[in-house]
Structure 1
Amino acid sequence: MTVANTGEFGLIARVTARLGTGPACLLGPGDDAAVVAAPSGRVAASTDVLVEGRHFRRDWSSARDVGHRAAAANLADIAAMGGVPTALLVALCTPPNLEVRWAEELADGLAAEAAKVGACVVGGDMSASPTLTIAVTALGDLGDRAPVVRSGARPGDVVAVNGRLGYAAGGYTVLTRGFRTPKLLVEAFRRPEVPYAAGPEAARLGATSMIDVSDGLVADLGHIANASQVGIDVKREAFAVPDQMRNAAAALGVDPYQWILAGGDDHALAATFPRDVALPAGWAIVGTVGEAGGGVTVNGRPYRGAGGWDHFK
């Protein structure tokens, strides 16, 4: 059965029936707008778009995988502000010949990823389109904390990372070469493992700046360096290369540090902290913040590898 057979409202009914609820969802799909609780009185909001052929391929990832990935990309942005995700709004633009089952499984993936943080899909929109496109907006609550922004890093801070780096980029390279193993890397590309709880944790610890690593560590730390008017130096030796990544990189003729330093889509969190803060397990110090100038360097030198993801390059 295709979307054309079911019709817009039939598809909406099928999809919304698969979506769960959460504590912040006061009114879900079915009205002109949803109602989401914001106990702190402040709402963090972020949006992201996945376009078939640009961000995902149906022969590489299942519909459920795409749902997980679409939700994770947005929920990670809320965590990077120090917030707790509460809700998702999803717009689906699809060719009429799309199988209804694919849309249903996409909804399953979205709902399952949101449920990891107690959030839910509260509404959205649908439209016909020649290109399959999923647009997701995430909402979150900051609690009693100020948002952790990109412009707060200070000379003398340390740079720390929580989460995986290079895994998704390695999986993407493996897939582009026509392979499906190692599974560790391929699955990381299909479904990121985001350290959501580390965002609010970093805020409580006094993080001075934070960002979701979606476009590559060097590129994303560059956003912090520019916004904070500081320099950042990353230590290459701070990153361990797991055996499966090292072996896959050797087989494909790739430097694994290219994946770690410039690969995106793992959605790790990178933050800066005052030097005297005791960081709990999960956080690894990978660099330092210095005076303005030089942007982001690796071992004191400008990074000469790939510059991270840019949609228009």
Structure 2
Amino acid sequence: MSPNTPDGAETVAEVGEFGLIDRVTRGRPQPRTTLLGPGDDAAVVAAPDGRVVAGTDVLVEGVHFRFDWSSPEHVGRKAVAVNLADIAAMGAVPTAVLVGIACPSTIAASVVEELTAGMWQEATRARVGIVGGDMTESATLVISLTALGDLRGRAPVTRGGARPGDVVAVAGKLGWSAAGLAVLGRGFRSPVSVVGAHRAPEPPYESGPAAADAGATAMIDVSDGLLADLGHIAAASTVAIDVRSDLVEVHQRLVDVASALGGDPRHWVLTGGEDHALAATFPDPHGVPEGWKVIGTVARGQGVTVDGATYTGTAGWQHWR
């Protein structure tokens, strides 16, 4: 349920659509790639490469976030991060975000202002602009974002280019969001570093273009879980991928949390989603760029294995399952 509107607080209905848009956009800085920002019928964003990488995500209250677990600012940061991670996974540099917000008329205007403040915070971290969007009324709070990116002369790195003989590598955190979810699900709010990783992930945006420059043959944003997302690469590339568990880092903080909750930290790392790390395949293990760690290999065949065997248990998240 959305935060209750305090007595006397302005609702979005009282502020109005255009008044609220003005509040959340006025005075916000834009990068040089924003040629025309919010305020007109559409934005104009520079695309020096001549191609635009585009992706979209929808976040629904109660499905993707809960306000009893995350503040509106956290939700805003997460909404932008999950979109820009997809752009980086194509080997592109993120340039802009378009935001759509649908919410009940009775929600406090301050909630939307805090939500968009978090969006601006993450956009600034990624050096992109929020260039436009839309607001409307709905029974449930829904956030829809479209992210744009520029390849800067690179070929896009798709899921379908992995080849036998490649190595598999990852950049960013794995398992932290799943651990944070487990902590919140047990009614705790600490350790802050683990809970914070679930509330507002920090994708390694610069690692995507770096991987493309290093000759990555395939790449994906780890949103549904490492094994599940490597499965998408394996299927698209018609190859087999084997992950070596001894090469996959399990941070001591995750071990400590698992010990306290009775969980399995390696399971979080292999199957936990929403960290928005990046996974990629490279033709040369010595050519893997800084910030990436080799965790497995690509061979002829199909599917994903761990230490040569099928992983028992759920490999990752799927909607409607």
> Do they superpose with TM above 0.5?
yes
Identity among equivalent positions (%) equals: 59
Map 1:7-156 → 2, pairs under 5 A: 7-17=16-26, 19-156=28-165
Q: CA deviation at 1:281?
A: 2.8
CA distance in 2, matches of 1:76, 1:13: 28
CA distance in 2, matches of 1:67, 1:23: 23
The answer to whether residue 296 in structure 2 is matched with residue 282 in structure 1 is no
2:314 to 297, 306, 313: 306
CA distance in 2, matches of 1:230, 1:25: 40
Q: Which residue of 1 aligns with 2:3?
A: none
CA distance in 2, matches of 1:211, 1:242: 22
Q: TM-score, normalised by structure 1?
A: 0.97
Aligned residues: 312
Letter in 1 for 2:39: G
CA distance in 1, matches of 2:262, 2:176: 16
User: Helix, strand or coil for the counterpart of 1:312?
Assistant: coil
Q: CA deviation at 1:276?
A: 4.7
The answer to whether residue 187 in structure 2 is matched with residue 187 in structure 1 is no
Q: Which residue of 1 aligns with 2:6?
A: none
The answer to whether residue 305 in structure 2 is matched with residue 297 in structure 1 is yes
Q: Which residue of 2 aligns with 1:258?
A: 267
User: Helix, strand or coil for the counterpart of 2:160?
Assistant: helix
Which structure 1 residue ranges, 4+ long, deviate > 3 Å from structure 2? none
* Deviation digits for residues 28-50 of structure 1 (CA, Å, limit 9, x no counterpart): 11111100000000000000011
Closer, same or farther in 2 for the Cα pair 1:28/1:238, shift >3 Å?
A: same
Q: Which residue of 2 aligns with 1:159?
A: 168
Q: CA deviation at 1:190?
A: 0.9
2:179 to 170, 184, 193: 170
Q: CA deviation at 1:9?
A: 1.3
Q: Which residue of 1 aligns with 2:279?
A: 270
Question: Which shows bigger deviation, 300-309 or 125-134?
Answer: 300-309
Q: CA deviation at 1:5?
A: 1.1
Q: TM-score, normalised by structure 2?
A: 0.95
* Deviation digits for residues 144-186 of structure 1 (CA, Å, limit 9, x no counterpart): 1100000000000000000000001100111011111111110
RMSD of the alignment, in Å? 1.0
CA distance in 1, matches of 2:29, 2:309: 49
Q: Which residue of 1 aligns with 2:4?
A: none
Does the 8 Å contact 2:167/2:285 carry over to 1? no
Q: CA deviation at 1:279?
A: 2.2
1:208 to 214, 217, 222: 217
Q: CA deviation at 1:240?
A: 2.4
Q: CA deviation at 1:290?
A: 0.6
Does the 8 Å contact 1:83/1:140 carry over to 2? yes
Question: Which shows bigger deviation, 237-246 or 262-271?
Answer: 237-246
CA distance in 1, matches of 2:260, 2:313: 19
Letter in 2 for 1:17: R
CA distance in 2, matches of 1:18, 1:127: 23
User: Helix, strand or coil for the counterpart of 1:154?
Assistant: coil
